[in-house]
Amino acid sequence: MKDALTVQDYLLNESEVGDWDGEEELVTDKINSIIHAVWDALPDDLATEQIERIMPQFWQQLGGDTVLLDVDEHELTGWALVYMRQQIELGIDDAEAADAVDADVNADDEEE
C-alpha cells in the first residue's frame, strides 16, 4: 500500500545524479518533479512491492541519457505517467498469469 511508503525514499540529490557538466541541479529538479508527479498519480491501493519495483525505474530509464536536459519537463512527466500505468498493468498481468499457472498446477495435482 502506498501509505506504507514515502516519496522521499525515491527522490535524488545532486550527488546521486552524478556529473551533468554543471547541470546537476537542473537534472535533480527535473527527475524529482517527475518522481513527485508519478507518486501523486499512483493508486493508493497499489501493492508496496509494485511501488518498490516501479519507482526506481524512472531514474534507471532517464538517468543515462541527455533526455533530461533536452526534453521539456512536461513531456517527460507525460511519458513517466504512461510508463507507470504500463508497468502497473504489466505487473497485474504478471500476477494474473502466475495465479493462472498456480491454478493449472493445482488442478493437475487434484486429477492425479
Q: Is the pLDDT of residue 95 over 60?
A: no
Picking from 2, 81, 70, the residue whose alpha carbon sits closest to that of residue 34 is: 81
Q: Count the neighbouring beta carbons within 10 Å of the beta carbon of residue 112.
A: 4
Rounded to a whole number of angstroms, the distance between the first and last alpha carbons of the chain is 39
- Spatial neighbors of 82 by CB under 8 A, at least 6 apart, are none
Query: What average pLDDT does range 54-81 have in this prediction?
Result: 94
> 7, 39 in Cβ contact below 8 A?
yes
Of the pLDDT bands very low, low, confident and very high (cuts 50, 70, 90), residue 3 is confident
pTM of the model: 0.79
Q: Mean pLDDT across the stretch 1-15?
A: 93
C-alpha–C-alpha distance, residues 21 and 1, integer Å: 38
